[in-house]
Amino acid sequence: MVTGTTPRTLFGYSSRARNAVDQPISYLMALALTQPDLISLAAGFVDYDTLPGVDTDTLMHEILSDPAASKAALQYGRTQGLTELRELAYQHLAKCDGISPADYPGNPDCVALTTGSQQLLHLLADLLIDPGDIVITAWPSYFVYTGALSVFGACVRSVDIDEQGIVPEKLDALLATIAEEGNLHRVKMLYTCTHHQNPTGITLSAERRPQLLDIVKKYSTDHRILLLEDNAYRELTYQGEAPVSIKSFDTTNEHVALLHTFSKPFAPGLKTGYGLLPADLCEKAMMLKDGRDFGSANLSQHLLLRALQNGAFEKQVNTLRDAYTKKRDAMLGALDEYLGDFMPKETRWTHPTGGLYVWLTLPESIDTSRHGPLFKRAVELGMLYVPGDYCYPADPTRTVPKNQIRLSFGVPTVEQNREGVRLLAQAIKDVAGV
C-alpha cells in the first residue's frame, strides 16, 4: 500500500492494475543513470554512435519541405498504418525468407503497424488471454514480455531450450501434460524469439522451426493456439545465413503471428513495429487499437517508408552489422581471455550469430542475483549486468536458477565491452575466493 493511504483513499484499481508489477530492468536502468561511470553490459539498447541522424535529417527535410508530403505525414493516419509502408514491410518479410511476395503467407492487408512491436505484443495478449489462461514460453525468455503477462493474469509455463533453441520433444511433452490435466483449452499462445533470442542470443535451428508449428497445430483441438514469433533481431545477423521464419511454413496464414520492428535495425526513437498476422486476428487487433490511439505516429511511418524506398534502411542495417560484429567479438574475446580458465567444466557462454546478447552460466555455487554478493561486487568494481534470474518467467512448476547472467554488447564501445568483462571476471573470482 502506498505510504499514507488507507483503503478508503485508494482508487478502485482494476484487476489488471493490481496485477501490474515493476519491471526488474527499471532498477538497473536507474542505477546506471545515477552512477554514470558504471560500464553497463545490462541495457539492451542500440548503439548510440551508429544512430542514423544524418539520414533521418535528410528524410525529414524531404517530407516537410514538400507541401503535399508534409500534409500527409502530419495528418492523422489509418489505425492499421500507412498502406505503402505495410506493402513494403510485407515485401521485406518475404525477401528475408527468400520467397516471392506472390507466394508468401498472407498479404499486406494482414500487416499491422504499431507503436513498437511491444504494443503489438500487448494487443495480442489482450485479445487472447483471460485470467488463468496459459502462455508457453522458452526457459529462459524475454522477461519484459513474460513479466507483462502477469497483468493479464496469464499462467506462464516454460519449455527447455538448448543450443538450438526450444526442444520440440519438450514442447510436445508439456502440451501433452497440460492436456492430461484437462487444461488444453486454456493454452492460448506459444511465445518464442526465433533469431538471436533475448536473453541468450540463441537462434532456433532451421530443422526445429516447422516442427514447432506442427506441434502447435497438433494441439489446436479446441481452438487455434497462436504461435507468436518475435523476430526483433532478424536483420542483426552477423554470421552465416539466418534461417527462414516459422511464418514461412504457415502457408494458409492461420497459426503464426510474425513480429518485426524498425527499432533494432534502424532507430528506436521512431517507435514503430509491425506484424504479419492471421487475417481474423489482425482485424480484431485493429479493433482494440482503434480504442487506444487510432493509429501510431504517422510522421514516423512516412519517414520509414522513404528510408525503405531510398536505401537508407538497408544502409543502416549494414552499418549496425559491422559495428555490432566488432562489439560481439570484443566481448567473446574478453570472456575467453578472462574467464576461459575459470572452472571450465561449469563456466560457459553462448556464441551468438547476431542480436545483442551473450548468456553466461557460472558454477551453481555463485549467486548472480541482484541481492547476491556477485552483483554487489561487480557494481563496486564499476560494471553492471542483468541477473539471469530476471529472465525466467514465473512458471509455478519450476525453480529459477541463480547462477546466470545476461550480457549486452550493444551500447558499450569495443573497449568498454572488454573492460566490462574484465571487471566482471574480477568480481567473479573475488566472490569465488580465487
What pLDDT is attached to residue 7?
A: 65
pLDDT over threshold 80, residue 8: no
Give the model confidence (pLDDT) of 242-270 as tens digits.
Answer: 999 999 999 999 999 999 999 999 999 99
User: Can you tell me the distance from the alpha carbon of 427 to that of 19, in angstroms, rounded to the nearest whole number?
Assistant: 36
Domain boundaries, the chain: 7-51+315-432, 53-310
SS3 at position 213: helix
Confidence category of residue 1, pLDDT binned at 50, 70, 90: low
Give the model confidence (pLDDT) of 391-404 as tens digits.
Answer: 999 999 999 999 99
Confidence category of residue 45, pLDDT binned at 50, 70, 90: confident
Q: What are phi and psi of 171, to 5 degrees?
A: -65, -45
Secondary element (H or E) of residue 162: strand 155-162
User: Can you tell me the distance from the alpha carbon of 155 to that of 150, in angstroms, rounded to the nearest whole number?
Assistant: 8
> What average pLDDT does the structure give for the chain?
95
DSSP states of 85-131: HHHHHHHHHHHHTT--GGGSSS-GGGEEEESHHHHHHHHHHHHH--T
User: Can you tell me the distance from the alpha carbon of 369 to that of 385, in angstroms, rounded to the nearest whole number?
Assistant: 10
SS3 at position 315: helix
Confidence category of residue 15, pLDDT binned at 50, 70, 90: confident
Give the model confidence (pLDDT) of 343-359 as tens digits.
Answer: 999 999 999 999 999 99
What pLDDT is attached to residue 6?
A: 65
Confidence category of residue 209, pLDDT binned at 50, 70, 90: very high
Confidence category of residue 4, pLDDT binned at 50, 70, 90: low
What pLDDT is attached to residue 5?
A: 61
Cell numbers 496469464 correspond to: 154
pLDDT (average), residues 287-301: 95
User: In whole angstroms, how far apart are CA 33 and each of 28, 30, 199, 308?
Assistant: 9, 5, 22, 34
Confidence category of residue 139, pLDDT binned at 50, 70, 90: very high
DSSP states of 349-414: E---SBSSEEEEE--TTS--STTSHHHHHHHHHTEE-EEGGGGS---TT-----SEEEEE-SSS-H
Give the model confidence (pLDDT) of 365-421 as tens digits.
Answer: 999 999 999 999 999 999 999 999 999 999 999 999 999 999 999 999 999 999 999
Helix axes 208-218, 168-180, angle to 10 degrees: 10
**Does domain 7-51+315-432 bear CATH number 3.40.50.10420?**
no
Residues 428/180, Cβ–Cβ less than 8 Å: no
Give the model confidence (pLDDT) of 48-68 as tens digits.
Answer: 999 999 999 999 999 999 999
pLDDT over threshold 90, residue 330: yes
Give the model confidence (pLDDT) of 275-288 as tens digits.
Answer: 999 999 999 999 99
Confidence category of residue 31, pLDDT binned at 50, 70, 90: confident
Q: Look at domain 53-310 and name its CATH class.
A: alpha beta
Nearest alpha-carbon partner for 190 in 172, 163, 202:
172
pLDDT (average), residues 134-160: 93
Confidence category of residue 333, pLDDT binned at 50, 70, 90: very high
pLDDT (average), residues 194-204: 98
Q: Which residues of 224-241 are buried (b: 16+ CB within 10 A; e: fewer)?
A: bbbbbbbbbbbbbbbeee
